[in-house]
Amino acid sequence: MEKLTWGDAGEIGYQLYEAHEDTHPLSVTFVQMHKWVLELPGFEGDPKASAEKTLEAIQMAWYDEWKLDNE
Protein backbone atom coordinates (compact mmCIF):
# COMPACT_ATOMS: atom_id res chain seq x y z
CA MET A 1 0.00 0.00 0.00
CA GLU A 2 1.26 3.43 -0.96
CA LYS A 3 2.04 5.80 1.89
CA LEU A 4 0.17 9.10 1.72
CA THR A 5 1.10 12.49 3.10
CA TRP A 6 -0.49 15.93 2.83
CA GLY A 7 1.41 16.53 -0.42
CA ASP A 8 -0.55 13.78 -2.22
CA ALA A 9 -3.67 15.88 -2.85
CA GLY A 10 -4.66 14.10 -6.06
CA GLU A 11 -4.47 10.61 -4.61
CA ILE A 12 -6.14 11.68 -1.37
CA GLY A 13 -8.95 13.30 -3.35
CA TYR A 14 -9.41 10.09 -5.32
CA GLN A 15 -9.49 7.96 -2.18
CA LEU A 16 -11.96 10.30 -0.48
CA TYR A 17 -14.22 10.00 -3.50
CA GLU A 18 -13.99 6.20 -3.37
CA ALA A 19 -14.70 6.17 0.36
CA HIS A 20 -17.51 8.75 0.27
CA GLU A 21 -18.83 8.68 -3.30
CA ASP A 22 -22.36 9.75 -2.30
CA THR A 23 -21.04 12.89 -0.59
CA HIS A 24 -20.71 16.15 -2.51
CA PRO A 25 -17.14 17.28 -1.77
CA LEU A 26 -18.07 20.95 -1.47
CA SER A 27 -20.58 20.14 1.29
CA VAL A 28 -17.88 18.80 3.61
CA THR A 29 -16.24 21.05 6.17
CA PHE A 30 -12.47 21.15 6.38
CA VAL A 31 -12.73 19.76 9.91
CA GLN A 32 -14.65 16.69 8.69
CA MET A 33 -12.42 16.26 5.64
CA HIS A 34 -9.30 16.45 7.85
CA LYS A 35 -10.72 13.64 9.98
CA TRP A 36 -11.51 11.51 6.92
CA VAL A 37 -8.03 12.06 5.47
CA LEU A 38 -6.45 10.86 8.72
CA GLU A 39 -8.61 7.71 8.51
CA LEU A 40 -7.48 6.78 4.98
CA PRO A 41 -5.47 3.55 4.71
CA GLY A 42 -1.80 4.37 4.24
CA PHE A 43 -2.05 7.98 5.39
CA GLU A 44 1.02 8.84 7.43
CA GLY A 45 1.04 12.63 7.40
CA ASP A 46 1.37 14.61 10.59
CA PRO A 47 -2.19 15.57 11.65
CA LYS A 48 -0.94 19.02 12.65
CA ALA A 49 0.85 19.66 9.36
CA SER A 50 -2.21 20.39 7.24
CA ALA A 51 -3.08 23.94 6.25
CA GLU A 52 -6.14 25.51 4.66
CA LYS A 53 -4.37 25.65 1.28
CA THR A 54 -3.60 21.92 1.52
CA LEU A 55 -7.18 21.03 2.41
CA GLU A 56 -8.47 23.21 -0.44
CA ALA A 57 -6.23 21.32 -2.90
CA ILE A 58 -7.51 17.99 -1.59
CA GLN A 59 -11.12 19.17 -1.78
CA MET A 60 -10.66 20.32 -5.40
CA ALA A 61 -9.06 16.99 -6.36
CA TRP A 62 -11.97 15.17 -4.72
CA TYR A 63 -14.43 17.48 -6.51
CA ASP A 64 -12.78 16.74 -9.86
CA GLU A 65 -13.27 13.00 -9.25
CA TRP A 66 -16.86 13.54 -8.12
CA LYS A 67 -17.70 15.60 -11.24
CA LEU A 68 -16.66 12.75 -13.55
CA ASP A 69 -19.57 10.65 -12.28
CA ASN A 70 -22.08 13.29 -11.25
CA GLU A 71 -22.24 16.03 -13.88
Domain spanning 9-70: which superfamily? IscX-like (1.10.10.600)
| Residue 2 reports pLDDT greater than 80 | no
pLDDT-derived band at 1, boundaries 50, 70, 90: low
16 CB-near residues (< 8 Å, 6+ apart)? 25, 33, 36, 37, 40, 58, 62
Kindly report, residue by residue over 19-68, the tens digit of the pLDDT: 998 999 999 999 999 999 999 999 999 999 999 999 999 999 999 999 99
Q: What is the mean pLDDT of residues 5-28?
A: 96
Contact between 44 and 4 under an 8 Å Cβ cutoff? The reply is yes
Mean pLDDT of 9-18: 97
Instruction: Parse the chain into domains and list their residue ranges.
Output: 9-70
CA atoms within 13 A on the CB side of 2: 6
